[in-house]
Structure formats: C-alpha cells, structure tokens
Structure 1
C-alpha cells in the first residue's frame, strides 16, 4: 500500500473517531454541569423543607419557589371539589383540589390530600367551614395534563393540577399560579394530606463517568487502529 493510501486510510479512521470522542467528552462535561445543578437544587429544597413556614405570598417569589413551606388564613370556597388522578404509596386514587379564599384578598387552590379511588364519596371529604389556618408546601401549577393524557375539563377528567384550568372549570374566578399541598392532618380522616413526594434522582455522576469512559475507550481504539493502518506490512 502506498504512503498516500495509508494516509487516506488513517485520516478516514481518525477524523470521524476524534469527532465522536469529542462528542462523548462533551456529553460527560454536560452531565457534570447537571450534577452541580442537581446537587444545588437538592440542597435548596432540603433547606426549604426544614425551614419554618412563612406567610404565603400572592405572587410566587422569583427563582425556584416550589416546596417552600408557607402558611395562610382564610376559608374554603363553596362548591364541588376537583379530583385529579394520582398514584401514591397508598395506591391509585385522586388528589382533592378545593378553592380557598385567603384573608389577604386573593384566591388559590388547595390540594387537601389523597383519597383512594374506592372512596370518592363527597360526604367523606367535606372541607372545614369557617375560618381556618393552613400550612403546606407551595407547588407550581401543572398545565396541560400528564404524559400522553391531557386534561378534559368538559368531561371532568383531570390528570394534572392545572390551577388556571381548574379554576375556570369550577367557576371560582382567578387564582394564583401556584397551589398549596396541605400538610398531614388527622391520620384517620380523608383526604390524606402530607403525601407530597420530594425526591430528585441524581445519577449524573455515573452518567458522566460512563461518557468519559467511552471516550477513553474510543481513544485507545483509535490509537490502535491508526497504528495498524500505518504498519509497514500493509
């Protein structure tokens, strides 16, 4: 084989391999960046969960406000609850979303908790009447629906806690763009509060190591292949 042919063969192996190696390194770096972001998110969330509750704001604070513990006073609005499909460690069922009038003059939706799908009788989950003080976690509205399942307001089928759509469907008027996940109350009463799952999978380090290992392995293969392509016996 001529030197020119060997050079073309070497370049045909080396250039695509180097491009792929750089791509793998880039994916590893991206996962390291995701690891830093996720670690910070977990630390901030754990700090918010451990902090004492503060007065609930009408407008969400700038930045990441989810899982912030808040408290507010007011009364539940009359009207039917909205049942939103849910699966918890207690099995399938529904979140019970109820309108609430805050003493500060604005309205929101409160996720009062979970009811099993076999216990959806309204008589078992009557909201308290009169003034109450609530404590729970701020949660961002969930517009649209769930994966492959869109909310159907006309049919009364809900798969996500879309505050604006639920408020419109129930006719309670404008609500703030977040809802309250109520803390656990009476363990024997429905709905069952305090079932919010706060968990963030953090596998970014293993993903990063996998991409870097693949890049290193490819680099070794490229080295071997290019040496073979220039072997004098070819």
Structure 2
C-alpha cells in the first residue's frame, strides 16, 4: 500500500482541466497530483481546526485554511469552475484577524456601495457611455496562481470531534459538501489539498501539507515491528517468571 501511494505521488501532475467532472475519473485520482490555476477568493476562506503543529519541539495551535479557487475569464489555462483548496496550516492569529476584518467591513461596505452608486450616476450624467470603457482600460490584470495538490474527500471525524457549526464559523473537520454550501458553491465542488513544496520566505504561511503525511497510515511497518518486539519480550519475561515460580522445589534431607 505504501509503495502504491509513493508511486502515485511520484507521477507528474495532471492538468485539472484535462479531467472530465461528469465521469468517474475522480475515483482514479487517489494519491495523484493535479495542477490547477485560478484566483483565491480570500473573503470566503474557511478555517478548520484547531490543528496543532510542532515547530522545533514547540507545539503551536492553528488551523487549516480552505479557500475557493475561482476561474479567470478568458483564460483557458485556469479552472473552468470553482474548486476548494486546502492551502495548509496557518497560526491562530490568521483566523482572529479574518474575523475582525469581516466584522469591520460589514457596515463600511454598505456605505461604500451607496457612495459608489451615487458616483456612478454622476459619472454617467457627465461622461455618458465613455466611462465604462475607461474603467475597463484602467483595470489591473489578474495574475492567476498555480496550485499543485491532491484530490481528497471529506474527513471522517472520531467520536470525540464536535459537530461543525457553520453559523458560528466553527469547523472542526473537513466536510466538503457543507463547506461548499457555506461558500455559495455546489455540494459536488472538488476539494484539493495543496502539497506544493516551493517555500516562499517572504510569505511563510500557509504551510502546505507534507507529502509524507499522505503516505503515512495509522500504523506504519516500523510500528508493527515495535509491537512485535514488545509483546514477545513481555511474553518471554512472564514465561520465565512463571517457570521460576511454579518449578517444584528440591526436598532437603
């Protein structure tokens, strides 16, 4: 099983657009890397956790950040429909800052919308039909980002993991259909875990998942060997003590 996973992950990444969503090809994508391009919608990010991470022997709590990767119009290299991307681990401060920004932007966004509508009306009164053309010419070009990841499904939480509460932005495990609904996407939206190994020192977070984490299983071969040595050693020790205890004593004359 481990050799199968390692072999699949070693294959060159597939282009996401070459996969037909209507087929059952997604069932054959287990442990296959896929490459997809698009633009992250950071305002719709979901934080799943808490998830701990050990750094130089120090354990730090944080979250997995899941963000929709949106298509770019008139760009055939980008995804044709939105997908969910687990970008990796981020510290707790990321979620706190995101909640503060979302709360502060609620009222100013309405004011900005009203002022924008008023300015648009006055602009149309002054300049007529030339204004939209000027805006289009001055709009900055959107540079898509490339994500190399592995297609996954929802997590299976243990009995000790609480239920997700989308209304209070509490996500304890990955439930792809529920997260897609929270982001305003269809329930059959594809979920990809980023495993890109390119490290950017200028932006250390999010930290993508380690490829070795995908290869590992709940019990590794080394664990089996340790269990075998432990139990056989205990069995030998107990057998020796039982033999010493139950051995008949020599009668003394």
TM-score band w.r.t. shorter chain: 0.5 to 0.7
Aligned to 2:184, which of 152, 171, 186?
171
Aligned to 2:27, which of 46, 54, 61?
61
TM-score by length of 1: 0.59
Q: 1:147 to 1:187 in 2, by over 3 A?
A: farther
Aligned to 2:206, which of 181, 185, 192?
192
Paired residues for 1:198-217 under 5 Å? 198-199=212-213, 200=216, 201=220, 202-210=222-230
Provide runs of 4+ in structure 1 moved above 4 Å: 143-146, 209-224
Task: Report the secondary structure of 1:44's partner residue.
Answer: helix
Q: Is the 8 A contact 1:145 1:160 kept in 2?
A: no
Q: Is the 8 A contact 1:84 1:161 kept in 2?
A: yes
Task: Report the secondary structure of 2:47's partner residue.
Answer: strand
Segments of structure 2 that go 5 or more residues without pairing to the other structure are: 72-77, 102-140, 249-253
Q: Report which structure shows greater RCO (CA 8 Å, sep ≥6).
A: 1
Q: Is 1:117 aligned to 2:92, yes or no?
A: yes
Judging by fraction of residues, say which structure has more helix.
Answer: 2
CA displacement 1:164-217 (0-9 Å, x = unmatched): 111112222234453232524523226323243624334113334555667788
Superposition deviation, residue 111 in structure 1:
1.3
Task: Report the secondary structure of 1:47's partner residue.
Answer: helix
Paired position in structure 2 for 1:4: none
CA–CA separation in structure 2 for the residues paired with 1:177 and 1:143? 17
TM-score by length of 2: 0.55
Task: Report the secondary structure of 1:154's partner residue.
Answer: helix
CA–CA separation in structure 1 for the residues paired with 2:69 and 2:82? 6
Superposition deviation, residue 131 in structure 1:
3.3
Paired position in structure 1 for 2:34: 70
Aligned length: 186
Aligned to 1:151, which of 161, 164, 176?
164
Paired position in structure 2 for 1:97: 66
* CA RMSD of superposed structures (Å): 3.9
CA–CA separation in structure 1 for the residues paired with 2:9 and 2:231? 34
Superposition deviation, residue 157 in structure 1:
0.8
Q: 1:117 to 1:222 in 2, by over 3 A?
A: closer
Superposition deviation, residue 218 in structure 1:
8.5
CA displacement 1:103-143 (0-9 Å, x = unmatched): 454432101232211243347xxxx9553332123333215
CA–CA separation in structure 2 for the residues paired with 1:158 and 1:181? 19
